[in-house]
């Protein structure tokens, strides 16, 4: 199996990505394609005494880089960037899955435009697993600000299949994030979606879920639009950061408190993880015809290594095939619009999902 690694993606690239690649190559039965400026990668490996086993790690040259500030469509403009070259490599069969810690918007747009969605899926979604009482998959975590009831039903399907196949959860409970549990709660969009999901046999729908209940394990898959999902994700991260800064400060107060800190250090570390979505590795972009995983921008070598293992499991799990087969049983499918790469709405979309309500701009393909 070949995993493609965007060597220049993330705040700690290329060093941590290269380190992670070397670790993954030595630990797992996998080949890696490290994509980036050959000279930079080789120099960085040399300077830091990292051994890149040529029998398992191939460097693919890509001189250009997409920064965290670049707009989503830079993935099409910067054709020689490590991310675009990686995506084209994956689309062309030069690898089984791709991992990047780079620009999320660009990666999402590129996955949809270059690797393309599975036929029948109208939008791809970024999925994040929270290590709450039980692992809880949140989607969409930020890609699609504007969605339709059909989109949300497809997110429910994507999330269910991912939790079944990759986290091996039987009949994952799907909840719809809402401001109350009754079926008539929330916006018209949510009322319609609730009605559709209630009739959706492939889905184990447990109804509307309030935000308060999610950390206590109210569902395995939490379905919402990309705006609300983004608020949910970032508020959890923010409250976690705030809290653990406070705890640290607290323990530095005096000798006794430092002592007590030592006593329960391990427990705190375990607890901290409940706020850390990177616990379960990176965020898969679901609905794409091949596995694309976005790892945290601040990923270190260990997180990169874990993301590679996650990519391997993702490929082995057969999620993509299962999704392609399940979509037939989904809510009434709609004729797919194949947009040329140059049409306005498409270009507008990638910069702002809100401008396109029917299709996330990428094309689809049968697999």
Report how far residue 362's alpha carbon sits from residue 121's, in angstroms, rounded to the nearest whole number.
Answer: 10
The answer to whether 337 contacts a copy of itself (rule: CB under 8 A) is no
Name which position in 91, 214, 307, 311 contacts a copy of itself (CB under 8 A): 214
In angstroms, what is the minimal distance from the CB of 261 to a copy of itself? 7
- Based on CB atoms, which residue is closest to a copy of itself, 170 or 344? 344
Of 40-48, 192-200, 211-219, 324-332, the window that binds a copy of itself (rule: CB under 8 A) is: 211-219
How wide is the angle at C-alpha 52 spanned by C-alphas 51 and 53, nearest 5°? 105
Name which position in 121, 155, 200, 275 contacts a copy of itself (CB under 8 A): 275
Q: Are 127 and 283 in contact (CB under 8 A)?
A: yes
- Based on CB atoms, which residue is closest to a copy of itself, 213 or 329? 213
Q: Return the structure tokens found at 126.
A: 């970024």
Is the Cα dihedral 182, 205, 276, 247 positive or negative?
positive
311 burial type by CB count under 10 A (0-12 exposed, 13-18 middle, 19+ buried): buried
The answer to whether 149 contacts a copy of itself (rule: CB under 8 A) is no
Report how far residue 52's alpha carbon sits from residue 41's, in angstroms, rounded to the nearest whole number.
Answer: 10
The answer to whether 48 contacts a copy of itself (rule: CB under 8 A) is no
Of 150-158, 161-169, 271-279, 293-301, the window that binds a copy of itself (rule: CB under 8 A) is: 271-279
Of 45-53, 112-120, 237-245, 304-312, the window that binds a copy of itself (rule: CB under 8 A) is: 237-245
Closest CA to 207 of 233, 173, 169: 173
Q: Are 146 and 138 in contact (CB under 8 A)?
A: no
Contact pattern from residue 79 through residue 108 relative to a copy of itself, giving x for each residue in contact according to CB under 8 A and a dash for the rest: ------------------------------
Closest CA to 297 of 93, 142, 176: 142
Of 94-102, 199-207, 311-319, 346-354, the window that binds a copy of itself (rule: CB under 8 A) is: 346-354
What is the DSSP secondary structure assignment for residue 112, as one 8-state letter? I
Closest CA to 244 of 282, 273, 217: 273
The answer to whether 11 contacts a copy of itself (rule: CB under 8 A) is no
H or E element that contains 125 = strand 125-126
- Based on CB atoms, which residue is closest to a copy of itself, 270 or 329? 270
- Based on CB atoms, which residue is closest to a copy of itself, 94 or 215? 215
137 burial type by CB count under 10 A (0-12 exposed, 13-18 middle, 19+ buried): buried
Using CA atoms, how far residue 307 sits from 69, 129, 323, in Å, is 23, 13, 21
Contact pattern from residue 285 through residue 324 relative to a copy of itself, giving x for each residue in contact according to CB under 8 A and a dash for the rest: ----------------------------------------
Among residue numbers 241 through 260, which ones bind a copy of itself (CB under 8 A)? 241-243, 246-247, 250-251, 253, 256-257, 259-260
H or E element that contains 222 = strand 221-223
Name which position in 184, 332, 340, 366 contacts a copy of itself (CB under 8 A): 184
The answer to whether 264 contacts a copy of itself (rule: CB under 8 A) is yes
Q: Which residues bind a copy of itself (CB under 8 A)?
A: 132-133, 142, 145-146, 177, 179, 184, 186-188, 210-216, 226-228, 230-243, 246-247, 250-251, 253, 256-257, 259-261, 263-264, 267-268, 271, 274-275, 351-352, 354
């Amino acid at each position: 199996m070949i995993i493609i690694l965007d060597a220049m993606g993330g705040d700690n690239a290329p060093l941590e990505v290269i380190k992670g690649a070397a670790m993954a190559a030595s630990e797992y039965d996998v080949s890696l394609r490290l994509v980036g400026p050959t000279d930079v990668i080789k120099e960085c490996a040399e300077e830091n005494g990292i051994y890149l086993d040529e029998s398992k790690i191939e460097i693919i040259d890509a001189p250009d880089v997409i920064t965290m500030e670049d707009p989503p469509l830079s993935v099409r403009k910067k054709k020689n960037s490590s991310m675009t070259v990686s995506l084209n490599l994956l689309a062309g069969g030069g690898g089984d899955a791709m991992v990047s810690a780079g620009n999320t918007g660009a990666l999402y747009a590129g996955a949809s435009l270059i690797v393309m969605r599975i036929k029948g899926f109208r939008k791809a979604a970024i999925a994040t697993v929270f290590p709450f009482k039980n692992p809880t998959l949140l989607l969409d975590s930020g890609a699609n600000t504007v969605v339709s009831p059909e989109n949300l039903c497809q997110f429910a399907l994507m999330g269910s299949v991912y939790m079944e196949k990759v986290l091996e959860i039987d009949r994952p409970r799907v909840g719809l994030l809402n401001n109350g549990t009754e079926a008539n709660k929330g916006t018209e969009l949510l009322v319609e979606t609730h009605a559709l999901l209630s009739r959706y046999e492939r889905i184990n729908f447990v109804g509307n879920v309030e935000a308060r209940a999610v950390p206590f394990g109210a569902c395995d898959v939490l379905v919402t639009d990309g705006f609300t999902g983004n608020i949910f994700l970032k508020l959890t991260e923010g409250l976690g950061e705030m809290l653990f800064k406070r705890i640290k400060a607290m323990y530095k107060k005096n000798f006794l408190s430092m002592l007590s800190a030592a006593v329960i250090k391990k427990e705190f570390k375990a607890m901290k993880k409940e706020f850390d979505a990177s616990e379960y590795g990176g965020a898969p972009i679901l609905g794409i015809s091949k596995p694309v995983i976005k790892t945290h921008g601040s990923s270190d070598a260990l997180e990169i290594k874990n993301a590679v293992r996650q990519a391997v499991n993702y490929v082995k799990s057969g999620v993509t095939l299962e999704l392609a087969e399940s979509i037939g049983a989904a809510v009434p499918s709609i004729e797919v619009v194949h947009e040329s790469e140059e049409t306005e709405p498409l270009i507008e979309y990638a910069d702002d999902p809100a401008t396109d309500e029917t299709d996330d701009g990428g094309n689809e393909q049968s697999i």
